Each structure stands twice: as C-alpha cells, then as structure tokens.
Amino acid sequence: MAKIIYTHTDEAPLLATYSFLPIIAAYAKTAGVDVETRDISLAGRVIAQFPDRLTDEQRLDDALAELGELATKPEANIIKLPNISASIPQLKATIAELQSQGYDLPDYPENPQTDEERETRARYDKVKGSAVNPVLREGNSDRRAPASVKNYAKAHPHSMGAWSSDSRTSVATMGHDDFRSNEQSVVIPADDTLAIVHVGADGQETVLKEGLKVLEGEVVDATFMSAAHLDEFLEQQVARAKADGVLFSAHLKATMMKVSDPIIFGHVVRAYFADVFAQYGEQLAAAGLSANDGLGAILSGLDKVDGGAEIKAAFEKGLAEGPSLAMVDSDRGITNLHVPSDVIIDASMPAMIRTSGQMWNSDGEQQDTLAVIPDSSYAGVYQAAIDDCRTHGALDPSTMGSVPNVGLMAKAAEEYGSHDKTFEIPSAGKVEVRNGSGEVLMSHDVEAGDIWRACQTKDASIRDWVKLAVTRARASETPAIFWLDETRAHDANLIALVKTYLADHDTDGLDIQVMAPAEATTYSLERIRRGEDTISVTGNVLRDYNTDLFPILELGTSAKMLSIVPLMNGGGLFETGAGGSAPKHVQQLVKEDYLRWDSLGEFFALAASLEHLAGYDDNARARILGDTLDKATETFLNEDRSPGRKLGTIDNRGSHFYLALYWAEELAKQTEDADLAAAFAELASTLRADEQTIVDELLAVQGKPADIGGYFRPDAEKAAAVMRPSATFNEAIASLG
C-alpha cells in the first residue's frame, strides 16, 4: 500500500496534528494510501538517545535516523512539520518534564568532568539545535507562495507599519574580524579525509576533529570570529544605543547555529551587563550560571546562590542604567536577552521591518531600534531592506510582487552543517585544516575564546541546486538571482561552480544573474514595488532568512508558503512552514482552550504530497485527492476560515472542519471517479447539514484551561480529547471508513 509519513513534532503543530491527522487518514484511505507517523519531536529524540535507562514501554526507536535513511530512497514521501530546534534552556526544560513523567534521564551536564558525563553530553548534543533538518533534507529547497495565498493577500492586505524618513533604526555589524572577513575556502580535488588541529603557541598539537571525510569537488570553508573584537564591537553598540536613545537588540540564530550563536549570545549578555560580570562573574560561573543561557536562566538560578539578592539587584541596576532593551514580552518583563532562542533573526528582523522598523520597549510601546547582528555575512540584507523602506515607505501587500526561493541545503550544505566542526578556542595559537597527507589546506591565527568553524558543501548538492534554479526560472518565466558575493571566499568558489554548471543547461531566454546579497535585496525590492517577481537562489542560511523576510512582508506570515524539497534520489519531502509562533499558541491553548495555529502550510504540503505520490505510484485517486484539496484550500481562503484572533471565533479545530467540508464537497462534484464522488457525497451532505452543530460543539469548549498533560511531551489521550471536542464531527469522519 502507498504510504505517506506525517511527522509527529512539537508545540502547536503537534497539537494541530491531533485534530487534522484523523481527517487526512480517512480521506487518504479512499485512495489506498496509508498515513503513518514518526516521532521526531524534541522529547522523542531525547528518549531515543537513552534506551538503556528506560523501560520497554518508554523506549522509542530513533525515528529521525529511520527517516534519514528513507529520504535517500525514491519511495520517500514525508510531510515535515515544524519541530523545536532546541537551545540548551529548551533541552533542559524537556529533560525536566520527562523526568517528572517518570523517565529516568540524566541531567544535562553543563561542564562534563567524567567519562560518563561526557558520554551523556554527547548523546544530548545529538538532539540540540537543528538536529532534524540536515538529516531529512536530502535535496534542495523550492519554496514559494501558492497563487491562492498570494491572491488572497492582495485582496485582503495585512497591516504594515508606516515608515518615516527620520527613522533611526539601523543594523550594526562587525565588518571585520568576523566569520565573513576571516573566511578561507577550498575545493577538494579528490576524495580525502581531513583533520582539524589546534597548534598552541608552545607548539602543542590538539586534534579538534579527525576522520572528516570529504568528496571530490566538495567546497570546504574555515573561518573564525575574534572574541576580543566581538567584545569591543558589542561595547561600542551598547554605548551607541544609549547615546542615540534607541532600543538595543541582538539578533542571532541560537537554535540552528547551536554551538556558535549561544556563545555569541553570551558575549552580548556580558557586554550589556559588563559591570555586573566584572564584579560577580566568578561567583556566577561557580554556581553554573552561564550568560550563554540568557538573563532569564541566571535570574531564576540566583535564588540558590549565596548573595543572590545582591546580584539580582545589580542586574536590575544594569537594566535601569543601560540602553533600553527590546522586549519579547513587555507585560512579563521578558527582554531580548532573557532566552537565546526567543529572538531568532529570520523571524525577528522581518517582523521589525514590517512594523515601521521598530520593536517593543518595556512600556509596551514601539521604538526605533539598533539591531545588532555581529557577523556581517548577511547583515547587509536587513540594512538594505531598512534603507529601502526608509526611502520609499512601507511595502503594499495589495500590489507587491513575490520573491520565491531556491535554497542550497542538500546533504547538510553550508553553515547549518557546521555544528560538529565549531569550537571555542581554548588558547592562543593556530587552527589548521589538514588533508590526509598532512598538507595544511587552511590556517588561522587564533586567540583564546575565539569561535572557529568549518563548513562543507557537496558538489552533487551544488549541481542539483543549479539545476533546480534553472527549472524554476523556466517553469515560472521569472528572473533568478544567485545571491553570492565574489569578495567572500566561499561565495567566490560557488560562483565559479555555478557558471560551470549553468553551461550544462538550456538557459536561452532566461534572466539569470549573480549579485551580492545586499545588492540582490535592493534589486528584488525594486522589482517587488513594481509588482514583479524575482527568484532568490541562495545558500542554506539565506534560504532560511529569505523565506521568512519576503513572505512576512508579502503575506504577513511565513507559515503560508508551499515548501517542497525534491529529494535527490527521487522522493519528496514536503515542509509545512515555520514554527516561530508555535510556543505562544500552546500557552493560549492551555490557558483558554483556544489554538490559533494556522494549518494552511499543512494543507499545501499534503496536496503536494498527494500529487507526488500519484506520479510515483500511478495512483489516479491520489491525484484527484490532491487536485480537489487545492480547490478546497482556495475556497477555505476565500471564505476566511483561518483561525480567528479571539475567543468565540473558530480556532485551528474549526479551520480543520471547514477544510474537511470543502474538500468533501469538491470530491463529491468531481467527475473523474464516480465511486469516489459517491463516497464523499454522503459525507459532504452530513457535514453541511451538521455545520452549526459541529461549530457549536467546537466553540463550547473555549474559555477555560485545557489539560494536555505536558508541554514537550503531551499525553496523547488528553491532547486528542482536547483537539477533537466535536463528537458529531468525529462520528462523521469515522463513517467514511
């Protein structure tokens, strides 16, 4: 039987799954398609790492490893929902919750001293940060706004903050002594095995990583950020924000860049509270309170520290006397520096640009902001967008064009593959990348505390990326811009390869160019304002940034994008959008039984998955299901059935009911398969007749707390009961079987 794998993930997408998956399974079965789940949630990944400590009932197979293997096969058909890319605080919270549920898991060892602690730390490190995506993404990314969503946004434009030519918002970036400026890059001439070695000032050699296998044609980069210059830069920005009277904010990616960016975040916290750490730094370190975990973790841990009240007062004084901080939650006093994973650059910067270039201050008011992005690799993209809005005003969603993306990410390409090759340097000396014969390919002079990293990009991934860019440019008759900077070492090598591989394709009549990221941003925005589309062809990090930046400006959200990963061996991975808003939706559900999560991304992914399966398995009914789902989704948008903004309106569960209704009605009136039409005619009639009853049952539960039995690992029965409160609807779906 044909099979679709629907991933069991985290937070709001997981809760929505309890409501939507029974609908999917019932409809898909009519086409002979089984829908199975695999648990790749953060909690599930943690549990899978410790089978030796758990009971038979508690153990879970390593579903991520299983799906990683499946992704290399032509039969792969995986729908990937957003999952938590865990920061250390999130990982610790997950461990604590699982322990409270009876799982015999060890604490996360912050500073492992014994072999056992180091082995425990190694297991936990496997699930930190972006542990899922590099495993599943055995192909490059094709991400764009479906026509139905784009048309809806034009007809119902979302709010955009007004921009002033006097706006003092700007981006601050290092520009020197950072990852971009220190980068070196080589193209590997033949299959080889590399080693990364630290050579101390005294000549003592320490192998940081060995056995690093690389393939012929692979692009390998190495670079570092100077800790001393980072601290100097941050000190200047704290003073600048104070002098200019703007909010101070830091924008990093501590979830994906799980080694480097928490360290950088710690530098930011120490720079802002320089006096506090000068006086109490040793005391905080002795108590295991790290700036890398954020201000929130430090403050919550001070209750157990001798003199904690005095240190807390020092932090409060630092907040009062320093520049105003951008806030995550003004009402609760959660600042930009509280949690490293709270302010994620690809979500926070577009939101700021959409909202007049401002963030929220401690009084709950909007204010111009100094956005601190230490590494200069892509900071210019956001500065270019700010400059454009300051000059031309806010963009108009009712007329603006689109910027689809073709992203290089196959086989853990580029920066997101660097976690196992990122190191905080212990002492001054050199870091060398050596080939199998001992030849030094790249070398950097480093100081203690510098952050050094290496990255890899497979040649096969680059070839496929270029092919996909040409395919999309031809299919959509849209200009395609490779966002590459010839003055950056990595990009210079990619530009040469892109030019070589473009010659393998028919590009006659296509507009394909190469531009540096800041220049490409300006060019794309100029075209957007004229209502024109431009494909951005980017590396892995810019893929992530651009597929939030432009959709948030165009559509008001990045959750409504069609995200397809044509896997290199013929399978398909269908992603349902970003999960940045997922935590706040769970909090609202638990508080008042209302889930505002929008499953539109799941609808698009499912339709694409069915279409792919129809082609692979020659399944006519799967194609009909996919085609009618597309039509139903367009009706869903036109009828405005997305979750409302307040109690008393339909939430995620209500949106699933209406999608099921419209889908059944489309299936009932299609003429290709009479038996299928008859099967759904009865369901469509039932759902339409019982519409008010079902809506009333869904609305009746709102307004009181909901018990789902856990945040990171909800109780399945409790969560299903909360997310399927309409007996009438449940019976109707069951009757289809």
Question: Taking a C-beta distance cutoff of 8 angstroms, is the pair 573, 565 a contact?
Answer: yes
Q: Residue 659: which H helix or E strand, with range?
A: helix 652-669
What local confidence, expressed as pLDDT, does residue 86 receive? 84
Cβ-based neighbours of 439, under 8 Å, separated by 6 or more: none
Please compute the mean of the pLDDT values over residues 253-261 and round it to a whole number: 88
What local confidence, expressed as pLDDT, does residue 1 receive? 64
Q: What is the pLDDT of residues 132-191, one digit of tens each?
A: 888 888 999 999 998 888 989 999 999 999 999 999 999 999 999 999 999 999 999 999
DSSP 250: E
What local confidence, expressed as pLDDT, does residue 462 receive? 97
Q: What residues does each domain of the chain span? A: 2-83+133-138+567-736, 170-179+246-392
Is pLDDT above 70 for 582?
no
What's the sign of the alpha-carbon dihedral 9, 14, 20, 21?
A: positive
Is pLDDT above 70 for 591?
yes
Q: Tell me the pLDDT of the chain averaged across its residues.
A: 95
Give ∠ CA 478-482-485 in degrees, rounded to 5: 150
User: Within 10 Å of residue 174's Cβ, how many Cβ atoms?
Assistant: 23
Alpha helices, DSSP H, located in 256-370:
260-272, 274-286, 295-301, 308-321, 345-354
- Categorize the per-residue pLDDT at 641 as very low, low, confident or very high, splitting at 50, 70 and 90: very high
Q: Can you tell me whether residue 354 is helix, strand or coil?
A: helix
* Identity of the residue numbered 105: L
Question: Taking a C-beta distance cutoff of 8 angstroms, is the pair 315, 298 a contact?
Answer: yes
pTM for this structure? 0.86
Structure tokens at 29: 């079965």
Phi, psi of 94 (to 5 degrees): -65, -45
CA Rg value for the chain: 26
% of the chain with per-residue pLDDT over 70:
99
- Of residues 735, 736, 737, 729, the one with CA closest to residue 19: 729
Is pLDDT above 80 for 709?
yes
Q: Which of 127-131, 441-445, 508-512 has the lowest mean pLDDT?
A: 127-131
Q: What is the rounded distance in angstroms from the CA atom of residue 221 to the CA atom of residue 418?
A: 10
DSSP 241: H
Q: What is the rounded distance in angstroms from the CA atom of residue 251 to the CA atom of residue 343?
A: 6
Question: Taking a C-beta distance cutoff of 8 angstroms, is the pair 484, 491 a contact?
Answer: yes
Phi, psi of 4 (to 5 degrees): -120, 130
Q: What is the rounded distance in angstroms from the CA atom of residue 336 to the CA atom of residue 328?
A: 6
Is pLDDT above 90 for 521?
yes
Structure tokens at 183: 């980068």
What local confidence, expressed as pLDDT, does residue 299 receive? 95
Q: What is the rounded distance in angstroms from the CA atom of residue 25 to the CA atom of residue 529?
A: 42
Structure tokens at 18: 């309890």
User: Within 10 Å of residue 650's Cβ, how many Cβ atoms?
Assistant: 20
* Identity of the residue numbered 501: Y
Cβ-based neighbours of 19, under 8 Å, separated by 6 or more: 652, 653, 656, 723, 724
Q: What is the pLDDT of residues 194-217, one digit of tens each?
A: 999 999 999 999 999 999 999 999
Alpha helices, DSSP H, located in 403-488:
459-476
CA-based end-to-end distance of the chain: 16
Q: What is the pLDDT of residues 95-124, one digit of tens each?
A: 999 999 999 999 999 889 999 999 999 999
Q: What is the rounded distance in angstroms from the CA atom of residue 497 to the CA atom of residue 460?
A: 11
- Categorize the per-residue pLDDT at 579 as very low, low, confident or very high, splitting at 50, 70 and 90: low
What local confidence, expressed as pLDDT, does residue 708 receive? 97
Distance of CA 154 to the CA centre of its chain: 26
